[in-house]
Amino acid sequence: MSAKHKDQATLLCVPFAGAGPSFFHPWRQLAGDRWRVTSLELPGKERRILEDPYRNVIEAAKGSIDDVIADLGEGARTVLFGHSLGAVLAYELAHLLSARGVHVERLVVSGSPGPWTQRERRAAGLPDEEFLARVEEFAGFRHEALDHPEMRELVLPVLQADCEMHESYVPSTDEPLSVPICSLRGDSDGLVTAEEARQWRDATTSGEFSYVEFPGDHMYLVDLGAQVLDVIERESSGGR
């Protein structure tokens, strides 16, 4: 293994509601030699589609932590990234990793209010069509699989479980992390205000918090993967 790859940091990406690891596969190429990009594989998604999905963020974090630690390996420089649902799940994983003695260099959260702020308008529990309309309104885009009856049968229950998990989330602890946090947001996000995205400042005791906006709405990262990675690299190298 070359020295360059030996020192390569790991970027662990945690998917948003309805998404699986494949969303982040293009980021591997975009990351080049800068990062080893890996992502959390939750039950109900992609290769684990036949497994029952989680409906609780804390259970999902606890159920995933052993796999995450095995994936990260010994002593790797690790940055966690999560968008929306993924942000609060990454926050819980960061707490668990810290408790297990695994050093997290930085937590990068995206499209999310601080962990103690619950969303007022909800989709969970609505009838299917109303649920989908609300999710589409929230996210600003519609998952194309939902237009195909066979795929919809597979995708809809997992999306509903994800939304329930996100909308019922309450942090496992009131203790902030000691990990530096960077909060990202699309500048026209109708779900999360700039003030809410800056609430993450209170979730770290490290004294290191930064806030970055990108052009776009709640799902800005769909088109701006390269720019997001550039910011993550800049923030992480600036913190060392």
pLDDT in tens, 189-236: 988 999 999 999 999 999 999 999 999 999 999 999 999 999 999 998
pTM above 0.75, yes or no: yes
Torsion, Cα 184 20 102 5, to 10 degrees, reads -90
Q: What is the pLDDT of residues 48-80, one digit of tens each?
A: 988 999 999 999 999 999 999 999 987 778 999
Q: Residue 239 falls within a domain, yes or no?
A: no
CATH of the domain at 145: 3.40.50.1820
Question: Is the predicted pLDDT of residue 108 greater than 80, yes or no?
Answer: yes
Residue 57 maps to a domain: yes
How far is residue 95's CA from residue 166's CA, in Å, rounded to a whole number? 17
Total number of domains constituting the chain: 1
Q: Report residue 124's pLDDT band, with 50, 70 and 90 as the boundaries.
A: confident
Domain presence at residue 238: no
Please report whether residue 229 resides in a domain: yes
Is 152 a residue whose pLDDT tops 50?
yes
What SS3 state is found at 110? Answer: strand
Tell me which residue of 10, 93, 85 sits closest to 53, measured CA to CA: 85
> Which letter, b or e, does each residue of 151-165 get, where b requires 16 or more Cβ atoms within 10 Å of its Cβ?
ebeebbebbbbbbbb
In a domain, 137, yes or no: yes
In a domain, 240, yes or no: no
CB 181 within 8 A of CB 107: yes
Q: Would you state the pLDDT for residue 93?
A: 97
Percentage of the chain modeled with pLDDT above 70: 92
pLDDT-derived band at 136 (thresholds 50, 70, 90) equals confident
Q: Is residue 153 part of a domain?
A: yes
| 197 domain residue, yes or no | yes
Confidence of residue 240 (pLDDT cuts 50, 70, 90): very low
Domain with 46, as residue range(s), is: 3-233
Q: What element of type H or E holds 36?
A: strand 35-39
**pLDDT 10s digits, 83-102:** 999 999 999 999 999 999 99
Give the residue from 78, 9, 31, 55 showing the smallest Cα distance to 166: 55
